Amino acid sequence: MTARDEIPGLGLPTDRPRINHAADLTVQNLTPTEAFVLSRVDGQLSYDDICKVSGLGRDQTLDILRALKRAKLILGPNEIAVGGAFKYGRPATPRPEATGDANKTTAPEAERRVPSQESGDRVDTSRPMSAPATSRMSEPLERLDDGTPVAAFELEDWPDGDPRLKERIIRLHRRMRALSPYELLGIPENADHSTIRRAFALASKTLHPDRYFGKDMGSFKAKLAAIFTRLTEAVQEIEGERKEKR
């Protein structure tokens, strides 16, 4: 491929982006759709592959990937991980230009106008909102470990993995569908928008499959991917319920 084949702002369609684990995910304000696209970034799928599996269409997927890369949440090949509290800037929604030169918005200005929140993310002020539930908002593998027995053969995959970590992944994978979205995220039912996002970001730090990139995890990779997908669904369910009540 040549430079003409490059995707603007990303790189070659065959490049395989990876998560920047040095970035602070807890300060991000990703929607479930954006978080889902981020969850497809595993260092093995190319940009083309991610567009195919996202179900969002190529243009929307690439817009989200560009925003993730600008925020340094994902990295291209040979890019060095850089830490910091980078903020995700949501791709701007195209707006009709006003008539007349005085009111006309230039393309660069339109690109810089990024809404702080989508309209669907407004906080419902008609009900009391909780403060961050720091005592409950903890790493889910430890918090949700019910200690049920795990057979020896279930631990055979990923031979160099921590046995306790593998046991906790198995236990959470078994019961994740039986847990409510609030139990899974470790938040109260009246948690506000920012608390939900922080809980999701905290869980992503340990449950995103790309955290173990390059590891021969065997069946544990699929289990982690299923758990992370369920986490994304949990956020979608909570926010969907609240939109219906408005």
Distances (CA, A) of 232 to 14, 38, 40, 50: 26, 11, 12, 17
- pLDDT-derived band of residue 208, with 50, 70 and 90 as boundaries? confident
Residue 113, classed as helix, strand or coil, is coil
**What is the domain count for the chain?**
2
Note down the domain range covering 229.
132-246
Residue 227 in this model has a pLDDT that exceeds 70: yes
Q: Are strands 18-19 and 74-75 parallel, antiparallel or unpaired?
A: antiparallel
| C-alpha pair distances (Å), 183 with each of 68, 118, 179, 204, 239 | 28, 25, 6, 16, 15
CATH of the domain at 46: 1.10.10
Q: Tell me the mean pLDDT in the region 227-231.
A: 91
Give the chain's largest Cα–Cα span: 73
Domain presence at residue 103: no
Domain stops at, among 71, 92, 113: 92
Length of the chain: 246
| Per-residue pLDDT tens over the stretch 121-180 | 443 434 433 333 333 456 789 899 999 999 999 999 999 999 999 999 999 999 999 999
- Name beta bridge partners: 130: 191
Question: 62, 92, 122 — which closes off a domain?
Answer: 92
Most confident listed range (30-44, 68-82, 171-185) = 171-185
Q: Is residue 126 included in any domain, yes or no? A: no
* Residue 131 confidence (pLDDT): 37
Does the pLDDT value for residue 235 go beyond 50? yes
| CB 58, CB 238: distance < 8 Å | no
